[in-house]
Amino acid sequence: MSPRPRAADILKPAGPCCHCKQHADERITVTYAERGSSPAQAPLCCLPCARSLLLHGAGHTWLAGDLAAIDTERTPPDGYR
C-alpha cells in the first residue's frame, strides 16, 4: 500500500522546456543531475517532450510512473461526459 504520486506533486511550475525550449504551463523533471555538486540542475521538460524522451529510452523508470500517475488522475473513470 504505497502512496501513489499525485500530479500536483509531480508537475513543476511553468517555464521553458529544457528540450524544445518552448514555454510550457506544466513541466516534469526528466532526470537527476548526478555529476558535480549542483542538485538543482534537474532539467524540466514539457509533458510531450517527457513522453518522447521516455519512448526513446532516455527516461528513468520513475518517469514512466510519473506520467502514468498524471494520466490516471486525468482520465475520467467513466469516460468523458
* Residues that bind Zn ion in the complex, under the rule CB under 5 A: 17, 19-20, 46, 49
Give the list of residues 6+ apart from residue 44 with CB closer than 8 angstroms, or none: 12, 15, 17, 18, 27, 28, 29, 30
CB 27 to Zn ion: min, Å: 8
**Residue positions counted in the chain:** 81
CB 20 to Zn ion: min, Å: 3
Residue 45: phi, psi to the nearest 5? -115, 155
C-alpha cell at 48: 510531450
* Residue among 3 and 13 whose Cβ is closer to Zn ion: 13
* Residue among 14 and 20 whose Cβ is closer to Zn ion: 20
CB 18 to Zn ion: min, Å: 7
* Residue among 4 and 41 whose Cβ is closer to Zn ion: 41
